[in-house]
Amino acid sequence: VNVPAAPDLGYERLDFRIGLNPGRLLSDGVPWWDYRKAEELVAADPDANWFDYWARLSRHYEPIGRDALAAGRELSGGRWLWLASMCSQYAQFIWFHEPERREDEQRRKVQLYRDAAPHLSPPAERIEIPFEGTTITSYLRLPPAAAGPVACVVLLGGLESTKEESYLFENLLLERGMATFAFDGPGQGEMFFDVKLLPDFHRYASAVVDYLVERPEIDPGRLGVLGRSLGGYYALHCAAADARLKAAVCWGGTFDLSDFNIMPPHIARGFLYVSGHEVLARGREYLQEAIDLTELAPELRCPTMIMNGRLDAIFSTKQIAKFERHLVNAHIDYYLEDEGIHCAHNLWHVVRPRLADWLAERLPDAADRP
Amino acid sequence: VNVPAAPDLGYERLDFRIGLNPGRLLSDGVPWWDYRKAEELVAADPDANWFDYWARLSRHYEPIGRDALAAGRELSGGRWLWLASMCSQYAQFIWFHEPERREDEQRRKVQLYRDAAPHLSPPAERIEIPFEGTTITSYLRLPPAAAGPVACVVLLGGLESTKEESYLFENLLLERGMATFAFDGPGQGEMFFDVKLLPDFHRYASAVVDYLVERPEIDPGRLGVLGRSLGGYYALHCAAADARLKAAVCWGGTFDLSDFNIMPPHIARGFLYVSGHEVLARGREYLQEAIDLTELAPELRCPTMIMNGRLDAIFSTKQIAKFERHLVNAHIDYYLEDEGIHCAHNLWHVVRPRLADWLAERLPDAADRP
C-alpha cells in the first residue's frame, strides 16, 4: 500500500484556507458576511492571518452584546456575546504555533460564552462537577414549559471543539423537548489546562451521568449521548461503558486512529497538541492506544446512529468497515451523505434535524412509546 | 446632473449573478451550500439558468419534507417544506421573461408554504379576509404561552417578496413575545393575480387591522407595522393613514420613485411587472404617482424607525433627505449601516435583532411600560 510519509508536524503557521472549514464555521454560528470577507481576504493574500481576523471580530461583537444587555435587550445581548465567543473560537482554531496566544483566546471564548449563558433562550446553566482533583465544567439547558422530567442528551466536542460550539445544535434538541448537557472532557476546552487527552474519557462522562440522574428535571431513564468528530468516537466509547446511556450518535467519528499517518497534518498536529505530546513517534503510539474502540465495542448495546459524509478527508471510509465488523451487539443505523464532507458540515440543514429527530425517537416519553 | 439613460426594460433573461443577492437569499433561509454551489455554477457558466437551478432544489427538498411529516417528524417536515418554498421563491425571483413559468412557480411556492404552515413552531394560521371582491391571504403566528393579549406586528413584503419570506424574521418577533401577521397586498404574491400595484395599499392594511382588533389573542392597542424594501414605503404609508398602528419600521424603503431612472434595470422592470404596465413611459408615470409619500407624510405621528444600508444600489440616499424633510410630526430613529447594501441584507445578524428589539420596546405590555 502506498502510505504517504509521516506528515510534517511542526508548529508552522497554517494557510488561512485551512481555518475556513466550509460549512462548519457557518453551521456553528459565524456570520456569513464575516465568513465571506474572510474568503475574499485570503484570496487576495494567502498569508492573511486568521487569528487576527477573527479576534478583531470577537472584539467588534462583544461591546454590541454588552451594550444590548445594559439596555435590557436580553435575547440580542446573549446572542451577540455568543457570536463574539464563536469568533474567538475560530481565531484560536488549530492555531498551534503560538500556544500562549491560542490559550488566551480560548479563555476569552470561555468567558464570553459564560457571560452569554444566562441570557440564551432557554438559558444555559453553568455547572461545575468536581472530579478527581479537577472540575468538569458544563452547561445544562432545559426545554421550557416541560410537563415532567425530560430526556437529556449529553453532547461531546471533538479535537478542536468544546462545549461552547454546540449552542445551535442544542436548540434543535430543545425544541424537540429534550434537555442538553455539554461539557469539556480531557484535552478539551477548560479541562485541557488541567487534563490532556486520556484513554478513559468515558469515566468523565459517567461522572456527568451521576450528576444528571440526580437532577429532578431530568428522566434518568432517558439519557442519550452525541459526539461530533473525535467526540463521535467518545460517544460510542461512553455508551459502551455506561449502560445508563440509552442512545448514541457518532457524528463524523472514528473507530480508531489507524488513519493517523494519512490525516491532514494539522489534524495530526492537533492530536499531539491535546495529548500534550511533542515527539511524533511517541505521541502517535500513545494516541493509537488511547483512541481505539476494539476492546469495548462488543459492550455497545444501545440503539446507535453512525453518521458522516462520504467525502470526509479526516477519517477514512475504512472506519465504517471497522464499525460494521466490531459493533455486533447494537442496532446501528448508518447514515452517510454522498456529498458530505467531514461530519457533513456542508449539509447541516438536512443532517442536523435528522440527528435531532433520531434522538427524540430513541428517548421518547411514556406517552410517545409504541 | 448626469442622469443615465432610461434603462432597457425588455424581457430579456438576466445574468444569474443578479439573482444571487448577497445576504438576502441566505437571511431568508436558503441553505448556504446550495447558495455556494450556485456561485460556483455561475462562475463556470455565466449563462447558467437560475430558474432551473432553484426549481430543481425545490423539488429535491419537497419529498424530504413530506417524508418527514409522514413519519411524524413535524418540526423537520415543516422546516423542509418551507425550505422548498424558499427555493421556488428564488427560482421565480425577478424572472420576468417567462411569465407563465414564473407564475406557476409562484403558485408552487404558495402551496409549499401553505403545507408547511401548520407544522412551523409556532404554527402559522392561514387567514383569508374577503375585501372588495378579492381575498387578502395571510398568516398569523402567535407567541406560545402568552399570559394575555399580545402585541402584533403586521409584516409587509416589497416588490419581489411576499408573506412567505418573513418566516425567519417572524421568529425574532415571536421569541420577543409579539405576534406576527404577514399578508400579500396589491401586486404581491397571491394577490398579484387579482390586483396589481395600487396607490392605496394602505386600505388593504386597514382591512387587516380591522381583522386583528377583533382577535382576542391580540391587544388592539399594540399593533405595529414593518415593511421591507418597497414594503418599507408601504409601512410608513399605512401608519400615516391608520392611527391604530402605533409603531412603524421602514426597512430599506423609499419616500417615492424619483430614483426610477437610475435604478438597476431589473428593478424598474419589476415595478412595471407588478403594476401590470408594459409601456415604459406610461408605467413610470403611473408608478411615480402611486408611490409617493409627500401627501400623507405629515399624518405620520407614531414612533418610526427608518433603516437601510448606505450602499443601497436601489434607493438612493436622497430618499433619506426626503424623509427628514417631510416626516415632521413623528419621532424618527434613523439607523444606517455604513457597510450595508439594500436593506443591509448582508448584515442580518446585527440588523434583524435590532429591528425586533425596537418594535418590542415601542409595543410594550402594561408591566413593561415606563
pLDDT digits (tens, 9 = 90+) for B165-208: 999 999 999 999 999 999 999 999 999 999 999 999 999 999 99
At A176, give phi and psi (nearest 5°). -100, 15
**Do residues A242 and A170 lie in contact, with contact meaning Cβ atoms separated by under 8 Å?**
no
In this structure, the number of other CB atoms found within 10 A of the CB of residue B185 comes to 29
Are A198 and A290 within 8 A, CB to CB? yes
- Of B23-27, B266-270, B323-327, give the lowest mean pLDDT range: B266-270
- Higher-confidence residue of A48 and A325: namely A325
- For residue B100, give the H/E element and its range: helix B99-116
> Which segments of chain B are extended strands (E)?
125-131, 134-141, 150-156, 179-183, 218-228, 245-251, 304-309, 332-337
A224-233: per-residue pLDDT in tens?
A: 999 999 999 9
Query: Is the pLDDT reported for residue A256 higher than 90?
Result: yes
Sign of the four-CA dihedral A101, A103, A104, A106: positive
A4 pLDDT above the threshold of 60: no
- Farthest-apart Cα atoms in chain B, separation: 63
pLDDT of residue B10: 62
**B79 at interface of A, judged by CB pairs closer than 8 A:** yes
pLDDT confidence of B1, banded at 50, 70, 90?
A: very low
Q: What percent of chain A has pLDDT over 70?
A: 96
- Tell me, what's the pLDDT at A1? 34
Q: B357 vs A73: CB contact, 8 Å cut-off?
A: yes
Q: What is the rounded CA–CA span in Å between residue B254 and residue B201?
A: 15
Residue with C-alpha cell 445581548? A77
Q: Residue B59's CB: how many other CB atoms inside 10 A?
A: 14
CB A255 within 8 A of CB A234: no
How far is Cα of residue B253 from the mean position of the Cα atoms in its chain?
Answer: 11
| pLDDT at B6 exceeding the cut of 70 | no
Closest CB from B32, B80, B83 relative to A26: B32
Instruction: Pick the residue from chain B with its C-alpha nearest to A61.
Output: B350
- Hey, are the CB atoms on B349 and A31 less than 8 Å from each other? yes
What is the pLDDT at residue B20?
Answer: 85
Interface touch A350/B64, C-beta < 8 Å = yes
Tell me the three cell numbers of residue B75: 418540526
Question: Which grid cell sits at A72?
Answer: 435590557
Query: Which pTM was predicted?
Result: 0.95
Which of A32-41, A273-282, B15-24, B306-315 has the lowest average pLDDT? Answer: B15-24
Q: What is the pLDDT of residue A370?
A: 63
Q: What grid cell was written down for A166?
A: 454546540
CA distance B121 to chain A (A): 9
The predicted structure's pLDDT at residue B21: 82
SS3 label, residue B71: coil
In this prediction, residue A5 has a pLDDT band, given cuts at 50, 70 and 90, of very low
Contacts of A55 (CB under 8 A, 6+ apart): A87, A88, A91, A105
Task: Tell whether omega for the bond before B118 is within 30 degrees of 0, i.e. cis.
Answer: no
Mean pLDDT value across residues B283-301:
97
A360 within 8 A of A179, measured Cβ to Cβ: no
Kindly state whether B137 is in contact with chain A, defined as any CB-CB distance less than 8 angstroms.
Answer: no
| DSSP three-state, residue B159 | coil
Helix or strand (DSSP H, E) at B266? helix B265-275
Q: Is residue B281's pLDDT more than 70?
A: yes
Q: How many residues does chain B have?
A: 370
- Give the pLDDT of residue A20: 85
Contact B173, B140 (CB under 8 A): no
- Average pLDDT in chain B: 94
What mean pLDDT do residues B213-221 have?
Answer: 98
pLDDT score of A328 more than 60: yes
Average pLDDT of chain A is 94
pLDDT at position B233 over 80: yes
For residues B29 and B86, the answer to whether their CB atoms sit within 8 Å is yes
